[in-house]
Structure 1
Amino acid sequence: MAKQGGRSLVASNRKARHDYTIEDVFEAGVVLSGTEVKALRAGRASLVDGWCTIDGGEAWLEGVHIPEYAQGTWTNHAPRRKRKLLLHRAEIDRLEAKTREKGQTIVPLSLYFLDGRAKVEIALARGKREYDKRQALRERQDNMEAVRAMREKRDR
């Protein structure tokens, strides 16, 4: 787990930034069971297939894989269960209104511990088309080439 200023990263979803245009980011608490916390402290989780839903005025994190705790007994958790997110009412209402628009969704970006509490960074996102993904890759590659050329010019 990477640690930076009281924040220790457990898992990040790098694919989300490639597949979606991030429009707004929120930090939410996560309701977890004891064995889930222990599995996360061991640095084991996957956000790749995760998404968030708003159901009955509550935010839920679904599809996130937190593997069973190795030393757990019959009290172990289900690896892909629905987990409740802790957000302010105004944030939930805003997310619910935005996700009704076509093409908008809520995706988890990272899962981390902040001062001992499990948090998830979620984003309001819009899906990218295939040509948008190619264009973003091309722009990044062009920027890298420009920086490399400037470095070579400077080193001469």
Structure 2
Amino acid sequence: MQRAVTAIYRTHQTAALVRNELDTLGVPRGYIHMIPETEDRLPEGSSRDVGPYNQEIHDLHLPEDDTRTYQQAVKNGDYIVSVDVEDNADLDRIKDIMRRPEDSRDIDALDTEYAGAEYIPFRHSDAPPYTEGQRGVRDPGSPGERGHLRGYTRSEPMRDRTRD
């Protein structure tokens, strides 16, 4: 069984800090996904084109409603960090690093805000669709855990991932 943990941050600086701390913890770089990878500040009142990031968001293999929330967050200038976790012994340390409420977004609140937003599908033209076992199923939140992190469980490992 494979797990994933995601968070949404307001700034590239915080997302990059989280990625670097995960790297220092020993999480292989290929297990850490930051979308967008580079800083992309938006002028006040504008939004990003999700198109260049849509494949990366879909490659996280999340439920459609959650994918919609992540698409809209990126569109509105936020940054996603997602970590594939194969060793549950590291899960609590990874969550501790990713809890940065001073600059993270409440994903539960964003779900509500973006509930009516457009879902942008994506299909790899050169690869078969992933199986239902590869799609993450949202974990129930831990007691007392705020909506700044979201965990997922997959019954099958994701394929075609670069592992460093």
Which is strand-richer, 1 or 2?
1
Greater relative CO, 1 or 2 (CA 8 Å, sep 6+):
2
Computing the radius of gyration over CA atoms, which structure comes out larger, 1 or 2? 1
In the superposition, the TM-score normalised over structure 1's length comes to: 0.28
